[in-house]
């Protein structure tokens, strides 16, 4: 960027994630510290199309660090998928005098960011999604809090499953990725975890694991299913048909997206927001902020979108090895 930036917009887009507010706060406060004004764009890319905005001062982002959700609201915009919508968004940027946009969200948000950057609006992306499925970063804001929320729910379920000597099938979010399911499965000591990254062998991955667990003395079983691996209802039905027990099915759903962000999400969001604005202040843009080996990295958006992040299958093996009586496969 040749000219010094004076005013930026910040928005949250896609599914919300705990820690988005912490990122917004960090963007606003770092901007002000650099003499840059900050405009909050409400309801993601749709808000940019509709000129839906609010001025953000240092004070206006007080007391949001600990709040779940996003004070800027969020949306998935169909209009932004069209050339017409994007041109209206550019017009809003010009009308508001925005020199750049900080977009907080997941892959979908960054695909939007790429399109906007191609129309001449500088953009920096900050990854936030409970799915942790953004290729260019080890970590996405919200993942740890969502894991802890799911763990808390499943621990409660375990109490009642243990008392009644039942089998529980729990569906967790994650879209097409199994990060949430596998991390949670390890942390709750699941009998089995089903993830989209591994083709399901129902007999071996579910039936035999319940049977082995039962043979080693367990009388309750916890099956964690990633939403991308299938429906918990179906899995429950198949378990009943195969073994004759009657599982209770729980779909955790959107409860996993709510709640106060934990330490990791507040801290990571604050660092990412800070680095995003510093990049702009130093003349770098059209990039995504990420974490790598504990530090912060920046990658051009186009390259970032091509990066793939694979589920660590060694963790799957570890999960399998933790069951009583289980032979390491
Ligand atoms: O991407 C976050 C996420 O919560 C996914 O895990 C889930 O598949 C999806 O969003 C749900 O989206 P919606 O809020 O539109 O129901």
**For ligand 1, is residue 131 a contact (CB within 6 Å)?**
yes
CATH fold, domain 144-257+312-323, is: Rossmann fold (3.40.50)
CA 175 to ligand 1 centroid distance, Å? 6
C-alpha distance from residue 246 to each of 13, 165, 202, 235, 271 (Å): 40, 11, 17, 11, 47
Cross-strand pairs, 193? 224
Tokens found for residue 35:
């003499």
Ligand 1: centre distance to CA 18 (Å): 13
pTM of the model: 0.97
What dotted CATH number matches 7-142+261-292?
A: 3.40.50.450
> In the predicted model, is pLDDT for residue 326 greater than 60?
no
Query: What are the Cα distances from residue 193, in Å, to 8, 169, 309?
Result: 43, 10, 19
Q: What are phi and psi of 211, to 5 degrees?
A: -65, -45
> pLDDT tens digit string along 271-314?
999 999 999 999 999 999 999 998 999 999 999 999 999 999 99
Measured by CA distance, the residue closest to atom 1 of ligand 1 is: 15
Closest ligand 1 atom to 131 CA: 6
CA of 11 to the centre of ligand 1 (A): 18
15 lines ligand 1 (CB under 6 A): yes
Q: Report pLDDT digits (tens) over 184-233.
A: 999 999 999 999 999 999 999 999 999 999 999 999 999 999 999 999 99
pLDDT tens figures, 102-141: 999 999 999 999 999 999 999 999 999 999 999 999 999 9
Q: Is 175 in the pocket of ligand 1 (CB under 6 A)?
A: yes
Q: Is there an atom of ligand 1 within 6 Å of 173 CB?
A: yes
Q: Which residue out of 99, 131, 133, 265 is catalytically annotated?
A: 131
Residue nearest to atom 12 of ligand 1 (CA): 15
133 is catalytic: no
pLDDT in tens, 34-89: 999 999 999 999 999 999 999 999 999 999 999 999 999 999 999 999 999 999 99
Domain boundaries, the chain: 7-142+261-292, 144-257+312-323
Cβ neighbours, 10 Å, residue 313: 13
Q: Which residue has the tokens 């007391």?
A: 63
Domains 7-142+261-292 and 144-257+312-323 share a fold: yes
Cβ distance 126 to 30 under 8 Å? no
């Amino acid at each position: 960027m040749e000219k010094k930036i004076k005013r930026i917009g910040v928005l949250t887009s896609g599914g919300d994630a705990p820690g988005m507010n912490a990122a917004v706060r960090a963007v606003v406060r770092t901007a002000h510290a650099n003499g840059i004004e900050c405009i909050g764009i409400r309801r993601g890319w749709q808000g940019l199309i509709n000129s839906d905005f609010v001025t953000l001062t240092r004070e206006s982002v007080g007391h949001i660090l600990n709040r779940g959700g996003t004070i800027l609201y969020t949306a998935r915009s169909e209009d932004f998928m069209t050339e017409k919508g994007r041109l209206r968004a550019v017009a809003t940027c010009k009308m508001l005098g925005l020199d750049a946009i900080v977009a907080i969200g997941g892959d979908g948000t960054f695909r939007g960011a790429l399109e906007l950057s191609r129309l001449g609006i500088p953009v920096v992306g900050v990854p936030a999604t409970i799915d942790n499925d953004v290729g260019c970063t080890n970590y996405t804001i919200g993942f740890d809090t969502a894991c802890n929320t799911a763990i808390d729910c499943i621990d409660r379920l375990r109490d009642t499953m243990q008392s009644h000597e039942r089998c529980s099938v729990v569906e967790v979010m994650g879209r097409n990725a199994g990060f949430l399911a596998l991390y949670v499965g390890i942390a709750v000591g699941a009998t089995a975890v089903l993830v989209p990254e591994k083709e399901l062998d129902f007999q071996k991955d579910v039936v035999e694991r319940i049977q082995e667990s039962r043979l080693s003395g367990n009388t309750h079983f916890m099956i964690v299913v990633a939403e991308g691996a299938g429906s918990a209802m179906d899995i429950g039905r198949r378990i009943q048909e195969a073994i004759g027990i009657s599982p209770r099915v729980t779909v955790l759903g959107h409860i996993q997206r709510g709640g106060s962000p934990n330490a990791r999400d507040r801290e990571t969001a604050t660092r990412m927001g800070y680095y995003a604005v510093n990049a702009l202040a130093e003349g770098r843009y059209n990039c995504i902020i990420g974490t790598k080996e504990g530090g912060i990295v920046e990658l051009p958006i186009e390259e970032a979108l091509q990066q793939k992040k694979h589920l660590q299958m060694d963790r799957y093996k570890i999960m399998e090895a933790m069951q009583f009586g289980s032979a390491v496969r």
